[in-house]
Amino acid sequence: MNLSQALSALFVGLAGVHAASNNPPPLVSSPGDITVIPGWSLQSSIHAPNDMPRLSQPGVDVSTWHRVGPRGTVMAGLLQAGVFDDTELFYSDNLNQLASETIFRSPWLYREEFTLNPSDNQYFTLHTHGITSKAEIYVNGERIATSDEQQGSYGGHKYNLTDHVHDGTNCLLIRAYPTNYLRDFALGFVDWNPYPSDNGTGVWRNVEISQTGPASMSPFRVITDFTKPGQNQKVNVTLKTDLVNHSQNTVQVSVNGTIIPPTGSKAGPILRSVELKPGESRTVSVEVSVENASIWWPARWGAQPLYTVQANLLLHNKTMTISDKTQAQQFGIRQVSSYVNQHNDTAFVVNGQQFQVMGAGYGPDMFMRFDEGRVEKIFQYMLDMGLNTVRLEGKQEHPELYELADRMGMMVLAGWECCDKWEGWEYNNDAQGVKWGKSDYPIAQAAMLHEAEMMQAHPSMLGFLVGSDYWPNDRATEVYLDAMKAMDWKNPIIASASKRGYPKALGPSGMKMDGPYDWVPPNYWYGDQEGAAFGFGSELGAGVGTPEMGSLKKFMSDSDLDTMWKKPNSSLFHMSRYDSQFFDRSIYNEALFGRYGKATDLEDYVLKCQMADYEATRAQYEAYSAKQNASRPATGSIYWMLNSAWPNLHWQLFDYYLSPIGAYFGTKVGNRLEHVAYDYESENVWLINHSLDLQGDREVSIDLIDANGKTISGTKVKTTTVPNSSKELQKVTGIDKIQDIAFLRLVLRDTKAKRDISRNVYWLSPKNDVLNWDESTWYTTPVTDYADYKKLESLPSATVKATVQTVNAQTKDGWTYADVQLENKSKVPAVFLRLNAINSSNSAEVTPVFWSDNYVTLWPNEKLRLSVGFEGDIKQTVIEVSGRNVKKQSLKSPK
Ligand SMILES: *[C@@H]1O[C@H](CO)[C@@H](O)[C@H](O)[C@H]1NC(C)=O
Ligand SMILES: *[C@@H]1O[C@H](CO)[C@@H](O)[C@H](O)[C@H]1NC(C)=O
Ligand SMILES: *[C@@H]1O[C@H](CO)[C@@H](O)[C@H](O)[C@H]1NC(C)=O
Ligand SMILES: *[C@@H]1O[C@H](CO)[C@@H](O)[C@H](O)[C@H]1NC(C)=O
Ligand SMILES: *[C@@H]1O[C@H](CO)[C@@H](O)[C@H](O)[C@H]1NC(C)=O
Ligand SMILES: *[C@@H]1O[C@H](CO)[C@@H](O)[C@H](O)[C@H]1NC(C)=O
Ligand SMILES: *[C@@H]1O[C@H](CO)[C@@H](O)[C@H](O)[C@H]1NC(C)=O
Ligand SMILES: *[C@@H]1O[C@H](CO)[C@@H](O)[C@H](O)[C@H]1NC(C)=O
Ligand SMILES: CC(=O)N[C@H]1CO[C@H](CO)[C@@H](O)[C@@H]1O
């Protein structure tokens, strides 16, 4: 279907009323049941009658409406229903064709019928978790919520359905109002990408119906008194739940539950009896003693043991009937705290250890489609790159994200989004968000209560930022803090992601937001200003993340691709939004051509981009790693950004199709657990250790050669490494002797285990980039003289022998693991070798794909073995190898 056909498909009408068909099984049938509305019929209010009471009666024929899943924005629904196709929408500037569609400026209806069998003493509740931007809710012809009550993308509410439901078919109708990011508490993209055509309007999160007896209970909030690991640790776990009496009588109830501990740990029972008077709501605390507590750690530092708690609320009548129950909830035992150090920088502590945040900023899908499997792959990529924290800037997604993070050991820095309505403060003149009025505070309160409840028990929570670019005013801060307190929030609460100001009640944020967001050279990170490696950088990076050719061709037309390299200052639809600073690649391209030479064709351009991107992310993470215990420590770095909401040209470490790129492997090298890094500014070598337990003797080899493979210098240094710290080793000799270009190889070796731990090659220019710090802007620091890598264009060519070895093909889970042996058969270095696994049936890159290393540079006659893992069959996979000065070859898999 092309776009104009798709648009006319939006204009589908409404037929008459028809009799209700056979009743399916009831949605909920026993006390304690809670069920997600399984799907919706979706229609624009323009194409439906305006009579909501009638439309929300069972029996209306909506068979011509779009059938969509349980949660999804309007666009997500239309994509799911096949009205649009994202391959087509994302191609070139096709999305622009929807920009002026008036259909997105009117409300949309989500309607569903379902069966219930209410009986005496049974109570029904509707649970919302946020509807964008706001909604009226109707049940069986009656309005149960106004759009003043049900407001905001994070407004989670409970509505009492008891008097509104009946035996047989019931109907729920939601009228969701269009969204304006400046006016509504929604999920905006600011300058990340073009806005989704519907601004995210709709029932983007699940809606649930629950049934209880006379008394109900809330999910548990979990508090532990754990501070630091010790032996046979005894930990007190406090479980809190809110009980409500729905009946006209005094009821005697018991909270009766169990904790299932991980192996080796033991937890007491949960038992507590209380009397609830008529009209009473009360919070009950149960303290449970846990012996041999299993401690939860971030991925790199240990395991992720999880405890599961589940309880029933029993009525004390003769049969001890269940009145309500909690769903199984996971929690972990660990402690997280933060402090502002003497430099006014925030630092985090996890289980008593200094925790340097190495993170990146998360982008949800542009249409808020949530695929848990995709998020899992994204987190796997993060762990593979050595990242330990994901920052969600107002994109808190769904409970599944936190459960994944708990299981995978990924720390989460959640928080509210910048700009837009969320930061409509009197003192914020940088953004256009409508200033807050009296009616906004209850919306913010509901949002904070709901998100805090969802996140509270998760061990993966590192903190919550109640502001991003700007801090909340005192009144909003009080609203947020009261809500956090009500939800027993024990993790750090931080005023904002910048140092612009702070509310008294919270104190300084200790996080800097001084850029860069656009290109800066590698030596920038070793400076002592702006975003350089000191303190906590809450969102920063050299703006890189260019996809490789295979991905580019999926979303860029030939003319878009021509524009990208032939008109370096032109705007591009697949960069940031049109009104942002980042709509073109002019700063990046000027540096790229200035340092690597003008692009001669598209392939040459993309290859140069990969080198520049690799260099950029490696330097950022290496510098932050190197300075982790400097006199002014680098306490954290959040790369801007991790991934993109749609196929994008920058601000990402892998592309929308999950293809790892130059920026990915630069990050992966820069974050290695143990590593040696070159300091572009001081010309020193740094020894880095991010582990808590690796220590002892190490040997570092430092070798510098020229383009012909001739040695400029070679040194071996003996040293010892200490956990969770870095130190300067010594200066690289011979940098001053570089003629046109040189390659520096650093190898870190564990001499006892006779094993190379880290191996890494830099290309170095006879002159360094020169920064003009005084002319820094919020997004970059200009460069007055560029490093010169132009010699890379005329390197003597190298021959590399490459073979696929040791194949563990198609293991039980369908994954293939293989090694690729590379051998440089030349006397000159083989530079920037890229290995790519291609599916031979469709010529597409296999993703996700996990390479131990990539974009590697080999010394003359050097051998290097890389490993790869991917889902698929090696027999249908071709491994391609190419390089800056190496001809492309395709490897056949061994028989
Ligand atoms: C989306 O929000 C922006 C403000 O951020 C507004 O200008 C635009 O009109 C909105 N689009 C729709 C379809 O409502
Ligand atoms: C843990 O709980 C027990 C029983 O309530 C109490 O005696 C003990 O003091 C608590 N331990 C700590 C460290 O609070
Ligand atoms: C819900 O409505 C029923 C019926 O009117 C009432 O008995 C019950 O107390 C209400 N529940 C709450 C939590 O207000
Ligand atoms: C609590 O539940 C367990 C089963 O999960 C049951 O064996 C026990 O008798 C219950 N306790 C009370 C007081 O009802
Ligand atoms: C705790 O662990 C120790 C050592 O493994 C063991 O001897 C002891 O029995 C355990 N205690 C409990 C309550 O499981
Ligand atoms: C106990 O209470 C439940 C819920 O109100 C009711 O259905 C059940 O009949 C009661 N049982 C007895 C023995 O009173
Ligand atoms: C830290 O901030 C406080 C004010 O919040 C200021 O007085 C102090 O000088 C700052 N310290 C440093 C080292 O910048
Ligand atoms: C292109 O952009 C760069 C970087 O912003 C700038 O220095 C240069 O003058 C621009 N060139 C043209 C022709 O506009
Ligand atoms: C008789 C009576 O007051 N029952 C109360 C039990 O609790 C619910 C919820 O708080 C009230 O709505 C009822 O009025």
User: What does the pLDDT look like over 562-606, one tens digit per residue?
Assistant: 999 999 999 999 999 999 999 999 999 999 999 999 999 999 999
Q: Which domains does the chain have, with CATH numbers?
A: 3-210 (2.60.120.260), 218-331 (2.60.40.10), 522-794 (2.60.40.10), 800-892 (2.60.40.10)
Q: For residues 864-885, give the mean pLDDT.
A: 94
Tokens for 555, please give them: 């979303």
User: What does the pLDDT look like over 147-158, one tens digit per residue?
Assistant: 999 999 999 999
- Assess whether pLDDT exceeds 50 at residue 13: no
First-residue to last-residue Cα distance in the chain: 43
Residue 278 pLDDT grade (very low, low, confident, very high; cuts 50, 70, 90): confident
In this structure, the residue with its CA closest to atom 13 of ligand 7 is 343
- Assess whether pLDDT exceeds 50 at residue 203: yes
Q: For residues 417-443, give the mean pLDDT.
A: 97
Sheet arrangement for strand 696-706: 711-721, 696-706, 742-750, 755-764
Tokens for 856, please give them: 């590697």
As a whole-number percent, the residues of the chain with pLDDT over 90 amount to 93
Q: Do the strands 742-750 and 696-706 form a parallel or antiparallel pair, or are they unpaired?
A: antiparallel
Q: Which residues line ligand 3 (CB under 6 A)?
A: 123, 160, 162-163, 244, 246
Interval between CA 160 and ligand 3 midpoint (Å): 6
- Assess whether pLDDT exceeds 70 at residue 4: no
Tokens for 679, please give them: 């300091």
Beta bridge partners of 346: 340
Q: For residues 127-154, give the mean pLDDT.
A: 98
Q: Which residues line ligand 4 (CB under 6 A)?
A: 254, 256, 314, 320
pLDDT for 17 equals: 43
In this structure, the residue with its CA closest to atom 2 of ligand 8 is 586
| Nearest C-alpha neighbor of 649 from the set 536, 533, 544 | 544
User: What does the pLDDT look like over 721-740, one tens digit per residue?
Assistant: 999 999 999 999 999 999 99
pLDDT for 10 equals: 61
Beta bridge partners of 687: 676, 727
- Assess whether pLDDT exceeds 70 at residue 12: no
Rounded distance between C-alpha atoms, residue 431 and residue 190, angstroms: 10
Task: At 624, give phi and psi (nearest 5°).
Answer: -65, -40
Residue 821 pLDDT grade (very low, low, confident, very high; cuts 50, 70, 90): very high
Residue 239 pLDDT grade (very low, low, confident, very high; cuts 50, 70, 90): very high
Is residue 860 within 8 Å of 827, Cβ to Cβ?
yes
Q: Which ligand is nearest to the CA of 100?
A: 1
Q: Which ligand is nearest to the CA of 346?
A: 7
Beta bridge partners of 302: none
Q: What is the DSSP secondary-structure string of 813-871?
A: TSEEEEEEEEEE-SSS-EEEEEEEEEETTTTEEPSSEEES--SEEEPTT-EEEEEEEEE
Which ligand 1 atom is nearest residue 104's CA?
Answer: 13
Torsion sign, CA atoms 622, 625, 631, 635: positive
Q: Do the strands 815-824 and 353-355 form a parallel or antiparallel pair, or are they unpaired?
A: unpaired
CA atoms in the 13 A half-sphere facing the CB of 468? 23
Residues noted as catalytic: 469, 539
Helix axes 602-626, 662-670, angle to 10 degrees: 20
Q: Quick check: CB of 266 below 6 Å from ligand 5?
A: yes
Interval between CA 118 and ligand 6 midpoint (Å): 15
Rounded distance between C-alpha atoms, residue 534 and residue 512, angstroms: 10
Which ligand 7 atom is nearest residue 508's CA?
Answer: 5
Interval between CA 412 and ligand 1 midpoint (Å): 29
- Assess whether pLDDT exceeds 50 at residue 19: no
As a whole-number percent, the residues of the chain with pLDDT over 70 amount to 97
Which ligand 7 atom is nearest residue 342's CA?
Answer: 13
Which ligand 4 atom is nearest residue 314's CA?
Answer: 14
Q: Do the strands 815-824 and 863-871 form a parallel or antiparallel pair, or are they unpaired?
A: antiparallel
Q: For residues 322-347, give the mean pLDDT.
A: 97
User: What does the pLDDT look like over 780-795, one tens digit per residue?
Assistant: 999 999 999 999 999 9
Helices vs. strands in the chain: H and E counts, helices first: 13, 50
What b/e sequence results for 249-279 when a residue is b if at least 16 CB atoms lie within 10 Å of its CB, and e otherwise?
eebebbbbbbbebbeebebeebebebebeee
Torsion sign, CA atoms 180, 183, 189, 190: positive
| Nearest C-alpha neighbor of 756 from the set 859, 611, 891 | 859
| Nearest C-alpha neighbor of 551 from the set 633, 402, 451, 652 | 652
Interval between CA 236 and ligand 2 midpoint (Å): 6
User: What does the pLDDT look like over 174-194, one tens digit per residue?
Assistant: 999 999 999 999 999 999 999
Cα-only R_g, the chain: 29
Mean pLDDT rounded to a whole number for the chain: 96
Tokens for 78, please give them: 């239309």
- 842: CB partners within 8 A, 6+ apart: none
In this structure, the residue with its CA closest to atom 14 of ligand 8 is 569
User: What does the pLDDT look like over 349-396, one tens digit per residue?
Assistant: 999 999 999 999 999 999 999 999 999 999 999 999 999 999 999 999
pLDDT for 15 equals: 39
Q: Which residues line ligand 2 (CB under 6 A)?
A: 225, 236, 287, 289
Tokens for 768, please give them: 């360094």
pLDDT for 892 equals: 81
Task: At 810, give phi and psi (nearest 5°).
Answer: 45, 70
